[in-house]
Amino acid sequence: MASRYAVIMAGGRGERFWPLSTSRNPKQLLALTGEKPLISLAADRLEGLVPPENVFVVTNADLVEATRAAAPQLPPENVVGEPMGRDTAAAVACGAALVEAAGGADAVFAVLTADQVIGDLDVFRATLRGAMELAQESDILLTIGIRPTEPATGFGYVEAGESFAERRGIEFREALRFVEKPDADRAREYLQTGRFYWNSGMFVWSVDALKRAFALHCPEMAQLTETLAAFAREGRIDAGMAETYPGLEKISVDYALMEKAENIVMACGAFSWDDVGSWPALENHFEADPSGNVRIGTVETLDSEGNVVFSKGRLTALIGVKDLVVVQAEGVTLVCPKDRAQEIKRMVTTLRESGEFSALL
């Protein structure tokens, strides 16, 4: 049986967790939900499934050293940095090149993300094991869908078709189509059909299957994989990226491949999953006080309810307010309604364009 590998994509900036998350210390390097950074938890989840020496991390060049420090269980040389962001298709191609150089074209690997929170780890590992077995046997591209618990508008969706197989107690179904983030009405329709799953952004495939799919649907990424694999065999992956990345188109793996390919199978993810996309998501991971406030750090409240408050190292006090996000971090105070937390990214963009607060971003 061919070797099994994993590639963790860790290039995000996590701007919706500003001001705690900054370009120098992004979301995946933060211990948002426990004692360990999210990238370290992502590596830990592979214990017993993929050995640390077979786990690669693709991040930003300026975050390589910080990522190595945040995930010390991985070999330092397995953390590589892209010289510039070219979206997820390029990151996947880079990961595939590293895997091919290490394990050959028949190696199977999972593509995972560094900034999700996953529970029910036995079920998660069984899902990956089953997916890797199927990817070894068939010329397919596997994705993991998460059964939706609410009509969320912040995720893309996958429509599931007929049953494809069952492995290790996990159901695998044909994937009919990928759809973009819907509006609220469409999301409710998706939920009611029972056929739609959240797109988790996690994939499993063999290097060969991925290269064939790239060659058919996105030749630029097929060529990138070949080129970077040659550099990786020489231990010069950084030089390869420096040479190839400036001319690449920015394109996501969903658009480059998953929305076009016809040999896609979806694992029905039955484990708990949270994209932890913004401050209100922390309500799912911390116990609230009797008034529904999630208080992280040094916080006092009076006649206040339903707030998410982060304040480590200094006291933050709330009086008579409801349903707010309040954050004290990195010399910045943030206050916004919970239902507008997605607009924090817009605020970061505005501040960056002003040029006045770059040190805080």
- CB 238 within 8 Å of CB 71: no
Per-residue pLDDT for 1 more than 60? no
Q: Name which of 32-41, 95-104, 264-273, 319-328 the model is least confident about.
A: 32-41
Tell me what percent of the residues of the chain surpass a pLDDT of 70: 99
Decide if 263 contacts 106 (C-beta within 8 A). Answer: no
For 149, counting Cβ atoms within 10 Å of its Cβ (0-12 exposed, 13-18 middle, 19+ buried), the class is exposed
Question: pTM, whole model, 2 decimals?
Answer: 0.93
Cα–Cα dist 264/270, whole Å: 19
Say yes or no to pLDDT of 229 above 80: yes
pLDDT tens-digit readout, 166-213? 999 999 999 999 988 888 899 999 999 989 999 999 999 999 999 999
Going along the chain from its start, the domains and CATH numbers come out as 4-274 (3.90.550.10), 279-360 (no CATH)
Q: How far apart are CA 230 and CA 83, in angstroms?
A: 18
139-151 pLDDT per residue, tens: 999 999 999 988 8
Written as six digits, the tokens of 210 are 């991925």
* pLDDT value of residue 102: 96
Q: What proportion of the chain, given as a percentage, has pLDDT over 90?
A: 83
Mind listing the pLDDT tens digit for each residue in 3-58?
899 999 998 877 889 999 988 899 999 998 878 999 999 999 999 999 999 999 99
Three-class SS of residue 142? strand
pLDDT at 250: 94
Q: In sequence order, what are the residues at sequence separation of 6 or more whose Cβ sits closer than 8 angstroms to the Cβ of residue 280?
A: 308, 325, 338, 341
Identity of the highest mean pLDDT range in 23-27, 106-110, 351-355: 106-110
Distance between CA 252 and CA 360 in Å, rounded? 28
Read off the pLDDT of residues 253-278 as tens digits, 9 standing for 90 and up.
Answer: 999 999 999 999 999 999 999 988 88
Give the pLDDT score at 216: 97
Q: pLDDT-based confidence at 76, cuts 50/70/90?
A: very high
**What is the pLDDT, as a whole number, of residue 343?**
92
Residue 260 CB neighbours (<10 A) = 14
CA proximity to 26, closest of 40, 42, 10, 41 = 10
Residue closest to 156 by CA, chosen among 185, 187, 124: 187
Sequence-ordered alpha helix ranges (H) in 138-272: 184-193, 207-217, 219-233, 237-244, 253
**pLDDT at residue 331, rounded to an integer:** 87
**What is the reported pLDDT for 2?**
67
The two three-digit tokens of residue 255, written as one number: 């658009």
